[in-house]
Amino acid sequence: MIETLAKTIVRTQKVRLYTEAEPFRFDSGAKLGPVDVAFETYGELNSERTNCVLVCHALTGSAHAGFYNSEDDKVPGWWDGIIGPGKALDTSKYFVVCSNILSGCYGTTGPSTMDPATLKEYGTSFPATTIRDMVRVQKRLLEWLGVERLQLVIGGSMGGMQVLEWMVSYPDFVEKAVPIGTGASHTAWGIALNEVARQAIFTDPAYMGGNYYASGQPSRGLALARMIAMISYRSPESFTMRFQRERMRTGGGSVFFDSKNIFQVESYLHYQGVKLVERFDANTYIYITRAMDLHDVARDRGKLGEVLSSVKAETLCIGVSSDVLYPAGEQRGLAELIPDARYAEIQSIHGHDAFLIEFEQMNRLLTEFLDRR
């Protein structure tokens, strides 16, 4: 599908990057083919093939980062606020690419994909995936697109993990980099939250060891996993400002317990859980959170300071003042270890999710950084 939108061309595609004859090799040593990748592009690649911006999505994100796919499908992209003409990632200047990650469930091969050998979903037979695996597949996609150099690679949260891997794995390919709300390795705090979320899925009787595709996925477990995660994505101040101690309706009902008049924050969490169940796959959630837990940019490479000293990209590390999942100190630490790096901070009460909310600050910081020569 190709559509012109105010000097911008949007392309939604899927491409087979690996085959059974030429399979992808995972960090674990496992091999898999075929591997398809779903992606979107915005803008045009210049004649030098050097104006590409790679946008890396977070845990439950997709390739649909930018504007509407079509007049019939007006679903906003998850980063509409900074992608498009006149915005920081100006599609009249940049060729913006966003792909669904390896092991995803939005078109790229993953646990919910049909195994051609068995004609059943891979499920838990899908190979364990790492952030490095995801980045190697992204590199293959850019080669297929004809990109010869990245003007910028950018992403927040798990997307930021991918950015760091890009910076270290392909130092001569990346001109500028912006890791947001992330760290050099996943902390014990982050791992603990992911494990509790995974256990919520595992203990749902409908999970059935991951073999649930014929009967329906573990909705209660996946919804609970999302509820747990949502608490860590915001801050206490954000919840207080939005919900206080308000109930869903005023007047009547027991002051102690009324299932028809729960607190608004409870209703919000339940709503977020239901919405994820409608659009995501439980095994995929398990695989991706494990990939996050395994994230360590220095793994098998040496000491962290020495590894990050090899980075050649001009770097802007962005933290969020109220982030409890990836505290701002983690990004400051990255900026101190990367040779050509500086630190900037989003001032917000919205916690980790601020990079998906505070578009005015994001546009200002990114525009200043990209305009530097």
pTM here is: 0.93
In sequence order, which residues have a C-beta less than 8 Å from that of residue 336 and are 6 or more positions away? none
DSSP state of 281: -
pLDDT tens for the 373 residues of the chain, in order? 223 333 344 557 999 999 999 999 999 999 999 999 999 999 999 999 999 999 999 999 999 999 755 554 567 899 999 999 999 999 999 999 999 999 999 999 999 999 999 999 999 999 999 999 999 999 999 999 999 999 999 999 999 999 999 999 999 999 999 999 999 999 999 999 999 999 999 999 999 999 999 999 999 999 999 999 999 999 999 999 988 888 876 555 555 666 667 888 999 999 999 999 999 999 999 999 999 999 999 999 999 999 999 999 999 999 999 999 999 999 999 999 999 999 999 999 999 999 999 999 999 999 999 998 6
First and final C-alpha spacing in the chain: 36
CA angle, 103 then 107 then 112, to 5°: 50
323 tagged catalytic = yes
CA angle, 277 then 240 then 262, to 5°: 55
Q: In 117-250, where does DSSP find H-type helix?
A: 131-145, 158-169, 188-202, 219-233, 236-243
Domains of the chain with bracketed CATH = 2-186+297-371 (3.40.50.1820), 191-289 (1.10.1740.110)
CA atoms of 114 and 214, how far apart (whole Å): 12
352 tagged catalytic = yes
Annotated active-site residue in 157, 185, 235, 322: 157
CA atoms of 233 and 238, how far apart (whole Å): 10
Annotated active-site residue in 323, 348, 350, 353: 323
157 tagged catalytic = yes
Contact call for residues 154 and 177 (beta carbons, < 8 A): yes
Annotated active-site residue in 62, 186, 352, 353: 352
In sequence order, which residues have a C-beta less than 8 Å from that of residue 210 and are 6 or more positions away? 111, 123, 124, 282, 283, 286
CA atoms of 213 and 211, how far apart (whole Å): 6
